[in-house]
Amino acid sequence: PYPEYDQLRSRSPLLHEPRSDSWMIFDYEGVKRVLHDHEAFSSIVAPPSSQTSQWLIFSDPPRHTQLRALIMRAFTSRAVASLEPRIRELSHALLAPALERGEMDLVTDFSVPLPLMVIAEMLGAPVEDQPRFRHWSDVILALSHTTAGGEEAARVQGEFRAVTDEMKVYLRGLVEQRRVSPKDDLLTRLIEAEVDGERLTEEELLGFFQLLLVAGHETTTNLISNAILCLIENPDQLARLAATPDLLPSAIEEVLRYRSPVQAMWRVTRHDVQLHGQEIPAGKMVMPMIGSANRDPRKFSDAHRFDITRDPNPHIAFGHGIHFCIGAPLSRLEARIALSAFLERVKGFQLASDAPWEPRKAIHVHGPARLPIRFEPGR
């Protein structure tokens, strides 16, 4: 999408899309303003009756403030750091079967299962339940990439309702277990979290569980796949990283900028808003294009160059302002561990086919659907 972004951005940082009557914002400053100005740009984009209206990401203050404070009680940096040994174990276990073969589809074999396993782990769900997590996450994602109306949308919505009921029963079971015997895990902390005498309701817990599956899965999957893709496309940067492994955190930041896993978000104007000298009327959908902002040449020198030593790198891949991604420390940790395990074990990797990569089919996210690679076997 990058040449298109450039073209559109240089014509005008704002584009009105007549079919959907929505506004797309392409420049760094504009995108940052939309994300930051929650007073003018509301996050309540889901119809109030839908299950997704319970999600933190689709809420505004004061409810957002309260909900986020409760969740942050549980989602502490200590809780995230404690996952490190387990993420390492899972990364090596996922790579092992491919090592002898000398080939794998990076996406299916590695970057899809890892974040899913980590979420299941965080909730304290047993490993054998993971196929269910996979199914739930697929259905929730399908919801996000089908357009409104039509038979297909009705089918997906029906499936989503069924999955929501299933998840409710499942989560209730886990919550009961934790009430009887609390554990040192995220779920126990979520149940026990209290702010101003309030706790999360069952609906809110379920909403957060669903949001974790979407927000914490597809995004991190794409970060890991995009990182390997960027390194294959830029052998000089791969050589540099191999010579200086300490550059890995900085390389991950550059992947977040260069191929942002989340390309766009949604907002709706609360009242008429002036942006770059144009007026967006009240009640309109606005899409801050994060992927384009992160390639804005007015903010980033040599914006289309993948440079793992870029410094400073003020990308907004995790958003900006009150909705800033709460999973940022976790996905940085996952990416760091997954990539260092991969780079340590997989030598001489290259694309196994010359076919151009196909994007994953979810709206607003950016990453390959498959990434078949070959490498030196037997390690």
- Write out the residues near ligand HEM by the rule CB under 6 A: 35, 43, 56-57, 68, 211-212, 215-216, 219-220, 223, 261-262, 265, 290, 317-319, 323, 325-327, 330-331
Residue with tokens 């990416």: 335
Q: Specify the 3-state DSSP secondary structure of 322.
A: helix
Smallest distance from ligand HEM to CB 377, Å: 30
Q: What CA–CA distance (Å, rounded) separates 283 from 271?
A: 7
Helix (H) or strand (E) holding 362: none
Nearest residue to 224 (alpha-carbon basis) of 259, 270, 181, 186: 259
Q: How many helices (H) and strands (E) does the chain have?
A: 16, 10
Identity of the amino acid at 224: I
* C-alpha–C-alpha distance, residues 266 and 3, integer Å: 22
Cβ count within 10 A of residue 3: 8
Residue 289 CB, shortest distance to ligand HEM, in Å, is 11
Entry field: residues in the chain: 379
Q: How far is the CB of 271 from ligand HEM (least distance, A)?
A: 19
Task: Compute the distance between CA of residue 191 and CA of residue 176 in angstroms, rounded to an integer.
Answer: 10
Taking residue 274's Cβ as centre, other Cβ atoms within 10 Å add up to 9
For residues 108, 131, 252, 143, the Cα torsion angle rounded to the nearest 10 degrees is: 90
Q: Which residue has the tokens 């990401």?
A: 57
Nearer residue to ligand HEM within complex by CB, 332 or 375: 332
For residues 79 and 99, which CB has a smaller minimum distance to ligand HEM in the complex?
Answer: 79
- Structure tokens, 164: 């929501």
> Nearer to ligand HEM by C-beta: 102 or 216?
216
Signed CA dihedral, 314, 316, 321, 326: sign only:
negative
Closest residue to ligand HEM, judged by C-beta, is 327
List, in order, residues 6 or more apart from 236 with CB less than 8 Å away.
none
Burial of 316: CB neighbours in 10 Å, binned 0-12, 13-18, 19+: buried
Closer Cβ to ligand HEM, 102 or 113, answer by number:
113
Instruction: Give the distance from CA 336 to its chain's centroid.
Output: 15
Amino acid in position 32: K
Beta strand 285-288 with 22-25: parallel, antiparallel or unpaired?
parallel
Q: How far is the CB of 221 from ligand HEM (least distance, A)?
A: 9
Neighbours of 40 (CB within 10 A): 19
